[in-house]
């Protein structure tokens, strides 16, 4: 950047901040303005693009500690000074400022544009043209622009979602790229996973955007998820429910476990197998087995006779008596 620009432009005013603004507040303000006026957000708007360039140019100088110090010192010399390219008869202003500083008494010191930049480099500890060239940002102005976030989705098998796995995705449409993604164990249907730095690359060397992945989970033919628990319907025979038995219960991805059914267990009772549910950072759930008494659809003659004898031997009770009484309340 030419030294005359530093005399003429009030970068603090461009960003709308005070001269003692902190680095953190400066960055926050710049990001807000950059998002508002970025050309991608204002396609075809020449005024917005010009404003974005001004914002980026100002932030490029003020965000650099050394350049900001140099800028403040140059501005302190007075906004009335004018940069000239040298030669006899050139107007005063900038020449007069430095002529007086170095004992030339207001005479016409012969400096070219390059001389002045070298002079500023020596004054403020820089070398050559240090501090005068903008870098980064949109078309060479200001700080780097973060890349945009990308959205993607994937469908997983029930077991993969519960146990976790590494999957490979194509992101970015037809010109996309392949990305390997680690799916954490216990991910739920509809859950979104934010993958830092896996989104669109920055156009000017800044941080890449994120990839926001939405996970869909295929239903399982046996198990259903209930928060951190897994649920399964457990069929038992009438004899097993009435007399009690030890039965096998399936587990997700493992060998079956044995579960004791107490005598007289009714249909609908839930039996719990500790620690065989879903594991996440929040904890581990259980396997919940709901007893379903299976009624035979056909009885052989001898079995029917024995069942009729069993019914005759049982007390004359109506299991619906309480239900009918409460229904009239």
Cα-only R_g, the chain: 39
Alpha-carbon distance of 180 to 184, in angstroms, equals 13
This prediction's pTM: 0.54
Whether 35 contacts 79, CB under 8 Å: no
pLDDT in tens, the chain (329 residues): 445 567 678 889 999 999 999 999 999 998 899 888 888 788 888 898 889 888 888 888 899 888 888 888 887 775 444 444 444 444 444 444 444 444 444 444 444 444 444 444 444 444 444 444 444 554 445 567 888 898 888 999 999 999 999 988 888 665 668 888 899 999 999 999 999 988 888 887 788 899 999 999 999 999 999 999 999 999 999 999 999 999 999 999 889 999 999 999 999 999 999 999 999 988 999 999 999 999 888 888 898 888 889 888 888 888 888 888 889 77
Q: How many CB atoms lie within 10 A of CB 175?
A: 5
Three-state DSSP class for 251? Answer: strand
The pLDDT value given to residue 3: 52
Whether 137 contacts 56, CB under 8 Å: yes
The pLDDT value given to residue 126: 46
Structure tokens at 68: 């900001």
* Neighbouring-strand partners of residue 152: 213
Alpha-carbon distance of 275 to 204, in angstroms, equals 50
Whether 249 contacts 234, CB under 8 Å: yes
Find where tokens 């992945």 sit.
213
- Write the pLDDT tens digit of every residue in 250-307: 999 889 999 999 999 999 999 999 999 999 988 999 999 999 999 888 888 898 888 8
Q: How many CB atoms lie within 10 A of CB 254?
A: 8
The pLDDT value given to residue 39: 81
Burial of 297 (0-12, 13-18, 19+ CB in 10 A): exposed
Fill in the DSSP letter of residue 173.
Answer: G
Longest dimension (CA), the chain: 130
Name 97's Cβ contacts closer than 8 Å, sequence gap at least 6: 77, 78, 81
Tell me which residue of 232, 227, 213 sits closest to 156, measured CA to CA.
213
Tell me which residue of 208, 55, 81, 46 sits closest to 134, measured CA to CA.
55
Strands 211-217 and 150-156: parallel
Per-position b or e across 220-229, b if 16+ CB within 10 A of its CB: beebebeebb
Tell me which residue of 282, 230, 226 sits closest to 251, measured CA to CA.
230
Q: How many residues does the chain have?
A: 329
- Write the pLDDT tens digit of every residue in 254-263: 899 999 999 9
């Amino acid at each position: 950047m030419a030294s005359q620009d530093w005399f003429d432009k009030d970068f603090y005013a461009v960003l709308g901040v005070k001269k003692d603004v902190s680095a953190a507040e400066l960055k926050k303000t710049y990001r807000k303005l950059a998002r508002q006026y970025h050309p991608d957000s204002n396609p075809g708007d020449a005024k917005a693009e010009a404003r974005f360039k001004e914002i980026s140019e100002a932030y490029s100088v003020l965000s650099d500690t050394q350049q900001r110090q140099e800028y403040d010192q140059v501005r302190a010399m007075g906004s009335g000074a004018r940069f000239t390219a040298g030669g006899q008869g050139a107007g005063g202003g900038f020449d007069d400022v430095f002529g007086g500083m170095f004992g030339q008494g207001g005479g016409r010191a012969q400096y070219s544009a390059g001389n002045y930049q070298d002079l500023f480099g020596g004054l403020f500890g820089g070398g050559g043209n240090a501090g005068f060239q903008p870098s980064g940002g949109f078309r060479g102005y200001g700080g780097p622009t973060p890349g945009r976030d990308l959205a993607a989705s994937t469908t997983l098998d029930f077991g993969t979602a519960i146990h976790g796995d590494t999957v490979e995705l194509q992101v970015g449409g037809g010109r996309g790229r392949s990305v390997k993604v680690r799916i954490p164990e216990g991910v739920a249907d509809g859950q979104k996973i934010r993958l830092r730095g896996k989104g669109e690359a920055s156009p000017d060397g800044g941080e890449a955007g994120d990839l926001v992945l939405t996970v869909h989970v295929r239903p399982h033919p046996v198990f259903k998820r209930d928060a951190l628990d897994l649920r399964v319907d457990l069929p038992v025979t009438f004899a097993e429910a009435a007399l009690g038995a030890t039965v096998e219960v399936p587990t997700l991805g493992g060998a079956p476990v044995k579960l004791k059914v107490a005598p007289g267990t009714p249909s609908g009772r839930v039996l719990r197998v500790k620690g065989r549910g879903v594991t996440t950072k929040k904890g581990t759930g259980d396997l919940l087995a709901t007893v379903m008494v299976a009624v035979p659809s056909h009885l052989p003659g001898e079995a029917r006779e024995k069942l009729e004898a069993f019914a005759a031997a049982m007390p004359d009770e109506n299991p619906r008596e309480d239900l009918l009484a409460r229904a009239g309340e």
